[in-house]
Amino acid sequence: MTEHMITLHGGCFTGGSASWDKEQTACLEKEGLTVHQLDFPKDNLEHTIEYLIRYLSSFDTPPHILGRSSGGYLAKIIHDKYPHLIDKAIYLSPVFNPVVRARHNPQFKERQDSYFRYLMRSNKSNEQSTEAEYLIPNTDTFNPSTELLLLASHDENVPVECFTEEQLDAADSLGIRTHKGMTTTCSLKFQQVLNDFL
Per-residue pLDDT of the chain (198 residues; tens, 9 = 90+): 469 999 999 999 999 888 889 999 999 999 899 999 999 999 999 999 999 999 999 999 999 999 999 999 999 999 999 999 999 999 999 999 998 898 888 898 888 888 988 876 544 444 444 444 557 787 899 999 999 999 999 999 999 999 999 999 999 999 999 999 999 999 999 999 999 999
Closest CA to 55 of 71, 73, 37: 37
What pLDDT is stored for residue 114 in this prediction? 87
Angle formed at CA 147 by CA 170 and CA 109, multiple of 5 degrees: 80
DSSP assignment of 174-195: TT--SHHHHHT---HHHHHHHH
What pLDDT is stored for residue 174 in this prediction? 96
Element (H, E) at 68: strand 64-68
List the strands of the sheet with 3-8, edge to edge. Answer: 33-38, 3-8, 64-68, 89-92, 147-150
What pLDDT is stored for residue 134 in this prediction? 56
What pLDDT is stored for residue 18 in this prediction? 86
What pLDDT is stored for residue 2 in this prediction? 64
Q: For the purposes of burial, counting CB atoms within 10 Å of the CB of 129, is it exposed (0-12), middle (13-18) or buried (19 or more)?
A: exposed
The percent helix, strand, coil of the chain (3-state, each to 5) is 40, 15, 40
What pLDDT is stored for residue 123 in this prediction? 45
| Cα–Cα distance, 112 to 6 (Å, whole number) | 23
| Cα–Cα distance, 135 to 57 (Å, whole number) | 26
